[in-house]
């Protein structure tokens, strides 16, 4: 799935995956920056709490964004595919400056929102310049290929990860969250073995990648981002490996960037 087409007089909005457990009560640097790139105090923020099983998740983020100075923050409590077609809610997304997708279960996002009018509206909003971001599960759904679930561990193994379609805001990266905290290098490498054209983006908790309309990544947060580049992969044993067995991958490039670090998805060059 390719990202929605940008009109000649427009520029694609930021895409902001967050590794989960972002600071909400202290300085809230990531959410504050999210609001800044979306228009600051003029911003109208739509919150999609579909991934969460908690009734108050949407209201909590409404309060957070209003406290940070948003002009408007409105949660859309979409719980089924019929609700994902409500004209009133589609109109909110069409007029939003920013869309924020909360954490929870990413399969709730893909099964409830995947292929709906709402998902198309979110893609369309980003193409016209609106910021679209998400935390944890909300980060995973942003790319074309979403990691649905997988095992922990550093070594890639055949069958270690299950992929499902995401929203397709970008087809350049595969995103994984809670990265170092949950030892997820192996499953990201396995996902890249399935899709060696993509770049792996592993996000630590309370850390975000701000991807602008020129495909420049800037790191914000207290942890690091692990970028795994398999563009020059020389060998993969995945096709010959039995499920559950280790996979051999050679000639992989890996970067770890912390706050302020930058990376170009066009040139695949890092600047710490």
pLDDT in tens, 192-228: 999 999 999 999 999 999 999 999 999 999 999 999 9
> From the candidates 136, 143, 144, 145, which is the catalytic residue?
136
Confirm whether pTM is higher than 0.85.
Answer: yes
Cβ partners under 8 Å of residue 96, min gap 6: 44, 45, 46, 125, 130
Whether 5 is covered by a domain: the verdict is: no
118: CATH: 3.40.50.880
Whether 7 is covered by a domain: the verdict is: no
* 3-class SS of residue 18: strand
Cα(75)–Cα(165) distance, integer angstroms: 24
User: In this structure, are strands 98-101 and 44-48 parallel, antiparallel, or unpaired?
Assistant: parallel
Please determine, for residue 155, whether its predicted confidence score (pLDDT) is greater than 70.
yes
Q: What is the pLDDT of residues 67-123, one digit of tens each?
A: 999 999 999 999 999 999 999 999 999 999 999 999 999 999 999 999 999 999 999
Q: What is the pLDDT of residue 8?
A: 82
Whether 238 is covered by a domain: the verdict is: yes
* 3-class SS of residue 83: helix
User: How many domains does one find in the chain?
Assistant: 1
> From the candidates 22, 62, 144, 205, which is the catalytic residue?
205
240 an active-site residue? no
> From the candidates 52, 62, 110, 178, which is the catalytic residue?
178
Whether 38 is covered by a domain: the verdict is: yes
Q: What is the pLDDT of residue 223?
A: 98
Q: Residue 206 sits in which domain range?
A: 15-264
Whether 155 is covered by a domain: the verdict is: yes
Cα(242)–Cα(259) distance, integer angstroms: 39
Cα(143)–Cα(175) distance, integer angstroms: 7
87 an active-site residue? no
Q: Percent of the chain beyond pLDDT 90?
A: 96
Whether 253 is covered by a domain: the verdict is: yes
- Selection from 217, 239, 18 nearest residue 135 by Cα: 18
Cα(59)–Cα(168) distance, integer angstroms: 27
Please determine, for residue 1, whether its predicted confidence score (pLDDT) is greater than 70.
no
Whether 85 is covered by a domain: the verdict is: yes
The answer to whether the beta carbons of residues 188 and 206 sit under 8 Å apart is: no
205 an active-site residue? yes
Query: Mean pLDDT over residues 48-56, rounded?
Result: 97
Whether 272 is covered by a domain: the verdict is: no
């Amino acid at each position: 799935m390719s990202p929605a087409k940008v009109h000649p007089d427009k520029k694609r909005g930021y895409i902001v995956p967050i590794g989960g457990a972002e600071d909400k009560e202290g300085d809230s640097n990531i959410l504050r920056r999210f609001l800044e790139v979306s228009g600051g105090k003029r911003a109208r923020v739509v919150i999609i709490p579909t991934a969460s099983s908690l009734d108050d998740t949407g209201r909590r983020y409404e309060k957070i964004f209003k406290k940070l100075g948003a002009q408007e923050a409105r949660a859309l409590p979409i719980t089924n595919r019929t609700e994902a077609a409500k004209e009133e809610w589609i109109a909110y997304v069409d007029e939003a400056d920013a869309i924020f997708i909360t954490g929870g279960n990413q399969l709730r996002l893909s099964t409830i929102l995947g292929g709906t009018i709402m998902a198309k509206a979110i893609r369309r909003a980003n193409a016209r310049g609106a910021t679209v971001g998400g935390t944890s599960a909300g980060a995973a759904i942003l790319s074309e290929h979403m990691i649905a679930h997988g095992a922990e561990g550093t070594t890639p193994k055949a069958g270690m990860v299950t992929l499902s379609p995401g929203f397709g805001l970008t087809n350049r990266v595969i995103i994984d969250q809670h990265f170092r905290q949950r030892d997820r290098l192996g499953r990201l490498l396995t996902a890249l073995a399935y899709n060696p054209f993509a770049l792996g983006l592993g996000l630590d908790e309370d850390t975000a990648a701000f991807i602008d309309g020129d495909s420049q990544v800037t790191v914000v947060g207290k942890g690091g981002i692990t970028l795994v580049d398999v563009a020059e992969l020389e060998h993969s044993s995945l096709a010959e490996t039995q499920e559950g067995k280790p996979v051999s991958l050679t000639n992989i490039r890996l970067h770890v960037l912390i706050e302020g670090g930058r990376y170009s998805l066009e040139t695949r060059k890092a600047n710490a």
